[in-house]
A and B are shown apart, each in its own frame.
Chain A
Amino acid sequence: MALIALENIELTLAERQILKNINLQVHEKEIITLIGPNGAGKTSLVKVVLGLIKPTRGKVVRQQKLSIGYMPQQVVVEPTLPLTVERFLKLVRRASNKDIQNALARVGVTHLQRSPVQNISGGEMQRVLLARALLNKPQLLVLDEPVQGVDVGGQGEMYQMISSLRDELGCAVFMISHDLHLVMASTDTVICLNQHVCCSGHPEHVTQDPAYLEIFGQYQPQHVAVYTHHHDHHHDLHGDIVQGGASKEDSAQEPQNQHNHEGCNHG
């Protein structure tokens, strides 16, 4: 049984359609990466999955007592609030001191334990947030742009950490990638979202594609993969769907993946 299943989700906020016709399931130990342009509704979809937003239509079926570790996109703590990293992690109620030390060690920032959260860098904060998600002993990790603002080398490291955490904890991962084309290598399924699911499939390794080799060859990014989009439509400036228009990506490469466009009810 899926940990979480979304059935025909539609979301309209202030008369603006944010999400339509979303069907997806997150299974145990599965890694799903969500990609899409700005304003595609990625964060909204994550919030529906988390139960923070109630969809206008459709059903969210969650496994009973599902424990979720959530890592939001950005957490900025008011400078007026004196708070160390350790105290920040203690906000997870059932976390003992030992749990906190273990979680910090797992994400490699033990030395930050007593630092004020306002004094650590963006990349360090991402790790601390991951540690907080781990303290919830998650069956499902939900990560909103976990490597945003992290350099390419650090991205690979972070991705490797997430993927080995999946193996250690046996949890599923549902995450948003900040990049339209680069995703975590161990992703099982990539979902391209633009209000509806445009396409989905499995990512390819970076090193197989000469075009990306040229760009990233010198960095030798590990744990990062390329996702090639296969759209049978594109979106105009208003985000409306234009049928049959092949995008550049489509003409450049033959589709290699099984993908299902039945979900796209245009109009």
Chain B
Amino acid sequence: MADFLLYALLGGVGVALVAGPLGSFVVWRRMAYFGDTLSHSALLGIAFGILMDINLSVAVILGCVLLASVLIVLQHNRQLAVDTLLGILAHSTLALGLVVVSLLDNVRLDLMAYLFGDLLSISLADIAMIYIGGLLVLACLYFLWHPLLAITIHEDLARVEGLPVNQARAGFMLIMALVIAMAMKIVGVLLITALLIIPAATARRITNTPEQMALGASIIGAIAVMLGIGLSYWWDTPTGPSVVLSASFLFALAYSFPKSSSYQ
């Protein structure tokens, strides 16, 4: 197999494995739009990363964390509904990112690669980053799993029972930023949320516990990555959208069968 294909598979599967559990939380906490907003701001992170000459992945993570903090502050004394607020921030940051990138005339930037992903040009260094970042994310999720699940079900109850609610929330934001920085390589800014929520929603159909669903989402995501890369390789379609379409296909497949009584 060609090196670039092997790298693409390794990188894509790595991201999918991490996206499974995180995506499950995004679904449970109804944060799909929040994920969109964070990922749309990633391009702005890239632009400022170039301007300030820092590592682009670090810039994206910083940008996401900053935006998440702004959101939390705005939500507290809000005049607008949350979805309106998210919509404004998502598209303003994306637009600003596009404008700033266009002004950087001494830098050549493959805009399409950032918007739609460029899995086939993934390097060994990228893979290293994905796996180190991925292990970090999974470790955080392992330690935060219990409090995060508890606050997802009822935050006040979790707080009264003495769980570290604030730490869990902050940790979740950070994890989200990390995963977005990683997933950007695979599916691009515009499609990150799809990679998070579609495998999780698919796994819901065939699982009975939160842990099964998280693991199932990882496996389904990994299969979608493999299918997508195959599709892209044989028919020369763009990789990111192919991966997302494969995930949608698996979703439709899972929901086209009658619901099994063993899964409630």
A and B: bona fide binding partners: yes
- Please list the residues of chain A having a beta carbon within 8 angstroms of any beta carbon in chain B: 47, 50-52, 68, 70, 72, 75, 77-78, 80-84, 87-88, 91-93, 115-116, 118-119, 132, 136, 142
B77 to chain A: closest CB distance in Å?
8
A74 to chain B: closest CB distance in Å?
9
* Cross-interface CB contact of B156 among A47, A80, A81, A119, cutoff 8 Å: A47
- Is B153 in contact with A88, judged by CB distance below 8 angstroms? yes
- Is A116 in contact with B264, judged by CB distance below 8 angstroms? yes
- A52–B166 Cα gap in the complex (Å)? 12
Ordered nearest first, which 6 A-B pairs have the shortest CB separation? A70-B160, A116-B264, A81-B28, A91-B150, A80-B27, A75-B154
- Is B161 in contact with A136, judged by CB distance below 8 angstroms? yes
- Is B152 in contact with A81, judged by CB distance below 8 angstroms? yes
- Is B149 in contact with A91, judged by CB distance below 8 angstroms? yes
- Subset of 27 A-B contacts with CB under 8 Å: A52-B160, A70-B157, A70-B160, A70-B161, A72-B154, A75-B154, A75-B157, A78-B27, A78-B152, A80-B27, A80-B28, A80-B204, A81-B152, A81-B213, A82-B209, A82-B212, A82-B264, A83-B209, A84-B208, A84-B209, A91-B146, A91-B149, A91-B161, A93-B146, A115-B264, A119-B264, A136-B161
A78 to chain B: closest CB distance in Å?
5
- Please list the residues of chain B having a beta carbon within 8 angstroms of any beta carbon in chain A: 27-28, 30, 146, 149-150, 152-154, 156-161, 163, 201, 204, 207-210, 212-213, 263-264
- A238–B82 Cα gap in the complex (Å)? 29
A239 to chain B: closest CB distance in Å?
23
- A183–B256 Cα gap in the complex (Å)? 51
B31 to chain A: closest CB distance in Å?
11
- A135–B179 Cα gap in the complex (Å)? 36
> With a CB–CB cut-off of 8 A, which chain A residues contact B152?
78, 81
- Is A87 in contact with B154, judged by CB distance below 8 angstroms? no
> With a CB–CB cut-off of 8 A, which chain A residues contact B149?
91
- Is A87 in contact with B160, judged by CB distance below 8 angstroms? no
Decide yes or no: A82 and B210 within 8 Å by CB, A91-B150, A116-B264 being known contacts.
Answer: yes
- A88–B209 Cα gap in the complex (Å)? 10
- A50–B152 Cα gap in the complex (Å)? 19
> With a CB–CB cut-off of 8 A, which chain B residues contact A93?
146, 161, 163
- Is B201 in contact with A50, judged by CB distance below 8 angstroms? no
- Is B150 in contact with A52, judged by CB distance below 8 angstroms? no
- Is A72 in contact with B156, judged by CB distance below 8 angstroms? yes
> With a CB–CB cut-off of 8 A, which chain B residues contact A77?
153
A205 to chain B: closest CB distance in Å?
33
Residue of A nearest to B153 (CB): A77
* Cross-interface CB contact of B210 among A81, A132, A136, A142, cutoff 8 Å: A81
Decide yes or no: A83 and B204 within 8 Å by CB, A50-B156, A68-B160, A72-B157 being known contacts.
Answer: no
Decide yes or no: A52 and B156 within 8 Å by CB, A78-B28, A87-B210 being known contacts.
Answer: yes
> With a CB–CB cut-off of 8 A, which chain A residues contact B213?
81-82
* Cross-interface CB contact of A92 among B156, B161, B209, cutoff 8 Å: B161
Residue of B nearest to A136 (CB): B161
- A81–B29 Cα gap in the complex (Å)? 9
- Is A82 in contact with B208, judged by CB distance below 8 angstroms? yes
> With a CB–CB cut-off of 8 A, which chain A residues contact B201?
80
Extra contacts, 12 of them, besides A50-B156, A80-B201 (Cβ < 8 A), are: A50-B159, A75-B157, A77-B153, A78-B30, A80-B204, A81-B153, A82-B207, A82-B208, A82-B212, A82-B264, A83-B210, A119-B264
Residue of B nearest to A118 (CB): B264
A125 to chain B: closest CB distance in Å?
12
> With a CB–CB cut-off of 8 A, which chain B residues contact A82?
204, 207-210, 212-213, 263-264
A243 to chain B: closest CB distance in Å?
35
- A142–B213 Cα gap in the complex (Å)? 33
B147 to chain A: closest CB distance in Å?
9
